[in-house]
Amino acid sequence: MSLYNRLVMQSSLIKKYIMALTGIVLVGFVFVHMAGNLQVLLGQEAINAYAHALQNLPAPILWGSRLFLLVCVVAHAVTAYQLIKENRAARPQSNEVEITKRAGWSSLRMGLTGSLMLAFIVFHLLHFTIRTIYPEYNDLKTTVGSPDGSEIHDVYSMILAGFRIDAISVFYVFCMFLLCRHLAHGVSSMFQSLGLRSESWRCKLDFAASAYGWIIFIGFSIIPVLVLAQKYGLVNCLDTCGSSCSVNL
């Protein structure tokens, strides 16, 4: 801890580098996660096979990646907490009239959107990964997507079952909107924190960050939206796969 304090906590800029570097990892992770999720659109076999392959990665790779992501999330959150605490202390008396000239909604509320994202990550892990919120998801088994014909976890059915609950879908889409706003500032800001932004690049990076946020929002939200739309008979594009699916929409 003293080494951590000596190396990190003493300098405001090192804290910003940690925010940026862990941010890059998490920005990359959400894209890969989104791309993986979109395989739901390809049907039960694709997503089940993909999920099975991920779950059965060699233990050092699987648990190494999980640990690395956990360390990044914890470092990002703890450093953000430290920064916010120092920032509040730096302005003990607020202005009678507070004017904001340039800062946007997203940049002013990184702490709020970030804290809610942290809560969302905990919920999401309990919901779909550890499956303690709905333990019956553990019983969803199928051979569809299995590489050797044995029974594997039916991720496709779990997703349909999860998102056919209106409140869950609305909550997920709302959280993805918060993530979109968090990314809209974060993705551009991390370049500034690492010293890799200039006035001529600022507009382009701000645009790219905003576009990235919306891509992530749409990519993640499309699945709960389609599940609900199909539940209410508005579309019929998700394969409910007859008898091999445990869930009907």
Partner 1 sequence: MKLFLKVWKQDGPQTEGRFESHVLDGVSEDSSFLEMLDQLNEQLLEEGKEPVAFDHDCREGICGTCSLNINGFAHGPENSTTTCQLHMRKFEDGDTITIEPFRAKAFPVIRDLVVDRSAFDKIIQAGGYITVRTGSAPDGNALPVPKEDADLAMDAAQCIGCGACVASCKNASAMLFTSAKAGHLNMLPQGQAEKDSRVLNMVAAMDEAGFGNCRNYGECSAACPKDISLDYIAKLNRDYAKAKIKKVFS
- In the numeric block, which tokens belong to residue 243? 């008898």
What stretches of 147-198 show up as alpha helix (H) in DSSP? 155-163, 166-193
Q: Rounded to the nearest whole angstrom, what is the least distance from the CB of residue 80 to partner 1 in the complex?
A: 10
> DSSP readout, 34-74?
HHHHGGGGG-HHHHHHHHHHHHTS-HHHHHHHHHHHHHHHH
Cβ distance to partner 1 smaller for residue 89 or 167:
89
Cβ distance to partner 1 smaller for residue 100 or 243:
100
Q: Rounded to the nearest whole angstrom, what is the least distance from the CB of residue 195 to partner 1 in the complex?
A: 3
Q: Rounded to the nearest whole angstrom, what is the least distance from the CB of residue 98 to partner 1 in the complex?
A: 6
Cβ distance to partner 1 smaller for residue 54 or 103:
103
Q: Residue written as tokens 């607020």?
A: 94
Q: Rounded to the nearest whole angstrom, what is the least distance from the CB of residue 90 to partner 1 in the complex?
A: 3
Give CA angle at 156 (151, 159), nearest 5°.
130
Q: Rounded to the nearest whole angstrom, what is the least distance from the CB of residue 209 to partner 1 in the complex?
A: 11
| Cβ neighbour number for residue 227 with a 10 Å cutoff | 23
Q: Which residues bind partner 1 (CB under 8 A)?
A: 10-17, 83, 86-87, 89-103, 107-108, 110, 185, 188-189, 191-199, 202
Cβ distance to partner 1 smaller for residue 172 or 191:
191
- 140-143 contacts: CB < 8 A, separation 24 or more? 140/246, 140/247, 142/44, 142/48, 142/244, 142/246
Cβ distance to partner 1 smaller for residue 23 or 145:
23
The one-character DSSP state at 141 is E
